[in-house]
Amino acid sequence: MQARQATEAWQRIESWLRRHAPTTHAALKSVASEAQLAALEAVLGVRIPVPLRVLWRQCAGSRDVRGAGLFPDHGWALWEPWNG
């Protein structure tokens, strides 16, 4: 249930961005892999909550893209243990 709700919510956000804020949509990073999420859990020593895991499996942040005004400057990421 939580996974489906999180997926549907993100799909609505992404659809809105694609239609109304294409530059912001283009700044979205690709998904986090299960291996990356497992690495994060190992570092933190806790399980990632289902809604957050679902979000990361759909989008792991944004890149710094000029004019992508709906995200903080210089991009953002929920956390990237695979980048050090």
Ordered per-residue pLDDT tens for the chain, 84 residues? 788 888 899 899 899 989 988 888 888 888 888 888 898 899 889 999 988 888 888 888 777 766 656 555 555 555 555 454
| Domains of the chain by residue range | 2-61
Concatenating the DSSP letter of every residue in the chain gives: -HHHHHHHHHHHHHHHHHHH-HHHHHTB--PPPHHHHHHHHHHHTSPPPHHHHHHHTT--EE---TT-TTS-TT-EES--GGG-
Task: Name the 3-class secondary structure at 19.
Answer: helix
Tell me the pTM: 0.67
